[in-house]
Amino acid sequence: MSRAPVDAKDNRVQILSMNENIPEVRHNASASRYECAMPGVAALAVAEYALDSGAGEARMILTHTFVPPEMRGKGVAEALVRAALADARSQGRRVVPECSYVAKFIERHAAEYGDLLV
């Protein structure tokens, strides 16, 4: 999977995935989260974050990831996290993985994302 390009004019992040069944991940900056919706599922899958510039370092604190039961096992959480990490990288932010899923994801993909950790 390659890095996700950001389209600044509509605030969307396109995920390039080998799984064609994963819909687009959208960055909802006003709610400080990345969202993914699937037809027929009322709830959104989300990866929530907070931005911080403490100690002179721009950081993205990934606080929570939630995927509704109907969407689990389809790579949605991975798509959400990859979008968030791609944005953090493109904005020059370091990452604080407070969410256990995000921490484990970065640990499993340390070669790709380990450099983002604070």
pTM for the structure as a whole: 0.82
Split at pLDDT 50, 70, 90, the class of 9 is very low
Which residue has 């990831």 as its token pair?
65
Distances (CA, A) of 22 to 26, 78, 113: 12, 10, 21
pLDDT at 16: 42
pLDDT at 75: 92
68: alpha, beta or left, given left = phi > 0 and alpha = psi -120 to 50?
Answer: beta
Nearest alpha-carbon partner for 116 in 90, 89, 98:
89
Split at pLDDT 50, 70, 90, the class of 13 is low
Mean pLDDT computed over every residue of the chain: 86
Q: What tokens does 5 get? A: 């390009």
pLDDT at 21: 63
In order of start, what are the domains of the chain with their CATH numbers? 6-116 (3.40.630.30)
Rounded average pLDDT over 79-103 = 97
